[in-house]
Structure 1
């Protein structure tokens, strides 16, 4: 009998780690996170001056980061302010740390 992914149960941490990893799967998103991590907050208009891409493209990447919970936004028309979601950022660091520590310890207790 062949198994499918839907036959397997996953822990909350496994699902969370996969969502975050997917959001990190594009170099523009990594660049955005690095820029935001170095600042208290950032307006999207500033991002287009730092990343030479169309505003609509930057917005799509910001949406993916928002959906993964890595950033948060505040709408103050006509601009939207984005910054790192510090609590979720710390959770992501911890999850990746645990994930990569499994290899070093010779076994995974995750």
Structure 2
């Protein structure tokens, strides 16, 4: 009988640090669901997952929640910026996978 030599293949998988945090990515997150641009990203260093809530100002209603964006960001700092009738509130988290999934006003917002 003929013997066939076994073939040993070593796969090189990307090494993810034990300190890495998986974050949710979404361009338009509303009412607990990603409506556009759903993905994931990994932060190995830096602040981690970012949640940005977008509000629009109208004379009738004042500041009204519009949508949330979720992503990874190296220089994330909690903040609130105003650009005319647009307000953006940012939150940051790390250390727990998908910690930005339920942050901000997006999950709490309900239609009137």
Q: What is the TM-score when the length of structure 2 is the normalising length? A: 0.19
Whichever structure has more strand as a proportion of its residues is 2
Bigger radius of gyration, 1 or 2?
Answer: 2
Larger relative contact order (Cα-Cα within 8 Å, sequence gap ≥ 6): 2
Q: What is the TM-score when the length of structure 1 is the normalising length? A: 0.19
